[in-house]
Amino acid sequence: MSESPPPPPSWNLTTMASGAVQFLRLPVIASSGLAVVASGLLYFKQNELIYPRNIPSDARTNVPKPSQFGITDYEDLQIPTPDGESLNALFIRPSNKRLAKDITVLMFHGNAGNIGHRIPIAQVLEETLGCNVLMLEYRGYGLSTGTPDEVGLTIDAQTGLDYIRQRVETRDTKIVVYGQSLGGAVAINLVANNQQHGDIAGLILENTFLSIRKMIPAVFPPARYFARLCHQYWASEDILPKITDIPILFLSGLKDEIVPPSHMTQLYTICKSRRKVWRTLPNGGHNDSVSEPGYFEHIHSFVMEEVLPSVKS
Residues 115 and 89: beta-carbon distance below 8 Å:
yes
Percent helix, strand, coil in the chain, to 5, is: 45, 15, 40
Per the residue annotation, which of 10, 144, 181, 211 is the catalytic one? Answer: 181
Per the residue annotation, which of 149, 156, 256, 288 is the catalytic one? Answer: 256
Per the residue annotation, which of 109, 117, 263, 286 is the catalytic one? Answer: 286
What is the per-residue DSSP string for 84-118?
A: S-EEEEEEE--S-GGG--SEEEEEE--SSS-GGGG
Crossing angle between the packed helical segments 212-219 and 261-270, to the nearest 10 degrees:
150
- CA neighbours closer than 13 Å in the CB half-sphere of residue 20: 33
The question of whether 286 is a catalytic residue gets the answer yes
β-bridge mates for residue 136, sequence order: 89
Helices (H), the chain: 14-24, 32-50, 119-129, 150-166, 182-194, 212-219, 236-239, 261-270, 295-302, 308-312
Q: Mapping DSSP to helix (H, G, I), strand (E, B) and coil, where does residue 156 land?
A: helix
Residue type, 29: I
Q: Which residues contact 41 (CB under 8 A, 6 or more apart)?
A: 20, 23
Catalogue the active-site residues: 181, 256, 286
